[in-house]
């Protein structure tokens, strides 16, 4: 590592360990290969064309994004098979039409309005995935009302430019699990429900459908992908405190830390103030002893950063301020002006908030946020 890596850091800066990132990618790619499923990683976590290139040596050709603007960004960087894993936004149909002519575009539908808008807008073939709610209760058609899914599938099949690719879900309920066993149970239950829906559709004349599932806890911890054709984890590329607390990763696999300047020390209450608040970390948290924690404290060093400081946590946030709770032995070693590291509770939002990060070798990496992709592709 460059010994001067931290010398010029003057504001909250996201650091990533490239070797850990690439090991995380390799591990997930090898798992998918063993299971015989397609890995279509979700790029919403890293949001970077540079990091996206780190996936290609592992045979990744198809990706997931969370918005049409993100699809434009990655299409401009050579990705030709992109699934937008967010319900179709009818106010962006012009952009859908442009993308459909440039790449193999996948979109989510869950209503007749979606199908009608697509049919009336696209000029090239589009892959259509029906969004199914398999238990997370966020969005999608309910898995236990398969007749509504069948009706929508038939509507899609009536349109010559719409290729009904399959059924898609996100088992978001795994994030609320209390144990590794519960994560795996919820993930597999979700997959079973999706296959029940597929079987119902097959019995009613809608065949040749794929099942696409995606969540980092389930994909990281489960070895059983029976009935699944495609997985779409995203957070695994960096991991974070939420994933470590769930048991989805080891702390040594977390590949991202925010370096923050210490701006004040309050020894009477064992707290330090950092330049690093809600606008840098978001307000996503993990619960420890019933209290919200927004990040875990680590010490920066020549290898990057240490293991988590026992008892060290980011316990309060305002716009720019972050309040750290620190044990006495660590507190006594610090001075105003030092840097300290924080593992974010939820790294996806931290990446989006900061918009740029750098490796332990000092390479700055811009994201979609900084690139400001134009509204339409060229």
Q: Is residue 4 very low, low, confident or very high in pLDDT (cuts 50, 70, 90)?
A: low
Residue predicted with more confidence, 372 or 332: 332
Statement to judge: residues 199 and 296 lie in one domain: no
Statement to judge: residues 189 and 158 lie in one domain: yes
**Cβ atoms of residues 186 and 174 within 8 Å:** yes
Q: Which residue in 111, 115, 219 sits closest to 170, CA to CA?
A: 219
Q: Is residue 1 very low, low, confident or very high in pLDDT (cuts 50, 70, 90)?
A: very low
Statement to judge: residues 148 and 282 lie in one domain: no
Task: CATH number of the domain at 30, please.
Answer: 3.20.20.10
Statement to judge: residues 266 and 217 lie in one domain: no
Q: What is the mean predicted confidence (pLDDT) over 130-140?
A: 92
Statement to judge: residues 44 and 173 lie in one domain: yes
Q: Is residue 191 part of a domain?
A: yes
Statement to judge: residues 188 and 259 lie in one domain: no
Q: Is residue 261 part of a domain?
A: yes
Instruction: Identify any residues that bridge with 164 across adjacent strands, giving them in sequence order.
Output: 128
Statement to judge: residues 233 and 264 lie in one domain: no
Q: Tell me how far the alpha carbon of residue 137 is from its chain's centroid.
A: 18
Residues 6+ apart with CB under 8 A from 149: 130, 132, 141, 143, 167, 197, 200, 201
Statement to judge: residues 70 and 168 lie in one domain: yes
Residue range 149-164, pLDDT digits in tens: 999 999 999 999 999 9
Q: Is residue 153 part of a domain?
A: yes
Q: Round the average pLDDT of the chain to a whole number and report it.
A: 95
Q: Is residue 91 part of a domain?
A: yes
Would you state the pLDDT for residue 375?
52
Interstrand relation of 321-325 and 162-168 (parallel, antiparallel or unpaired): unpaired
Q: What is the mean predicted confidence (pLDDT) over 333-342?
A: 96
Statement to judge: residues 35 and 163 lie in one domain: yes
The count of domains in the chain is 2
Domain around 288: 255-368
Q: Which two tokens stand for residue 334?
A: 């610090």
Statement to judge: residues 226 and 273 lie in one domain: no
Q: What is the mean predicted confidence (pLDDT) over 161-190?
A: 95
Which residue is associated with the tokens 């330090």? 272
Query: How far, in Å, CA of 347 to CA of 48, rounded?
Result: 14
The pTM (predicted TM-score) of the whole model is 0.95
What is the per-residue burial (b if ≥16 Cβ within 10 Å, else e) of 284-321? Answer: bbbeeeeebbbbbbbbbeeebbeebbeebbbbbbeebe
Statement to judge: residues 261 and 227 lie in one domain: no
Statement to judge: residues 281 and 219 lie in one domain: no
Phi, psi of 24 (to 5 degrees): -65, -40
Query: How far, in Å, CA of 336 to CA of 263, rounded?
Result: 5
pLDDT at 95 over 90: yes
Q: Is residue 245 part of a domain?
A: no
């Amino acid at each position: 590592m460059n010994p001067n890596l931290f010398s010029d850091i003057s504001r909250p800066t996201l650091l990533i360990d490239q070797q850990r990132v690439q090991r995380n990618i390799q591990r997930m790619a090898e798992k998918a290969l063993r299971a015989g499923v397609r890995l279509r990683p979700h790029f919403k976590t890293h949001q970077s064309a540079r990091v996206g290139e780190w996936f290609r040596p592992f045979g990744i050709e198809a990706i997931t994004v969370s918005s049409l603007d993100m699809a434009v960004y990655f299409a401009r960087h050579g990705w030709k098979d992109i699934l937008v894993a967010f319900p179709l936004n009818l106010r962006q149909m012009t952009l859908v039409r442009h993308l459909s002519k440039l790449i193999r575009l996948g979109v989510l539908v869950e209503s007749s309005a979606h199908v009608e808008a697509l049919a009336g807008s696209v000029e090239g073939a589009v892959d259509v995935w029906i969004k199914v709610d398999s238990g997370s209760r966020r969005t999608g058609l309910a898995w236990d009302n398969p007749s509504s899914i069948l009706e929508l599938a038939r509507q899609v099949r009536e349109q010559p430019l719409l290729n009904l690719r399959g059924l898609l879900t996100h088992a978001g309920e795994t994030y609320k699990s209390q144990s590794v066993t519960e994560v795996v149970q919820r993930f597999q239950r979700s997959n079973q429900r999706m296959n029940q829906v597929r079987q119902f559709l097959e019995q009613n004349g809608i065949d040749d459908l794929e099942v696409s599932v995606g969540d980092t806890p389930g994909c990281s911890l489960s070895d059983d992908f029976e009935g699944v054709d495609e997985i779409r984890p995203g957070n695994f590329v960096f991991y974070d405190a939420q994933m470590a607390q769930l048991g989805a990763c080891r702390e040594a696999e977390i590949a991202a830390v925010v370096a923050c300047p210490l701006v004040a020390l309050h020894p009477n209450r064992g707290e330090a103030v950092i330049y690093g608040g809600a606008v840098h970390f978001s307000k996503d948290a993990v619960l420890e002893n019933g209290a919200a924690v927004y990040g875990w404290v680590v010490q920066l060093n020549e290898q990057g950063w240490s293991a988590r400081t026992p008892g060290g946590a980011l316990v309060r946030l305002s716009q720019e301020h972050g309040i750290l709770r620190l044990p006495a032995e660590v507190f006594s070693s610090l001075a105003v002006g030092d840097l300290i590291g924080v593992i974010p509770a939820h790294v996806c939002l931290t990446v989006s908030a900061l918009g740029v990060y750098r490796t332990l070798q000092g390479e700055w990496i811009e994201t979609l946020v900084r690139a400001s992709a134009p509204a339409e592709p060229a």
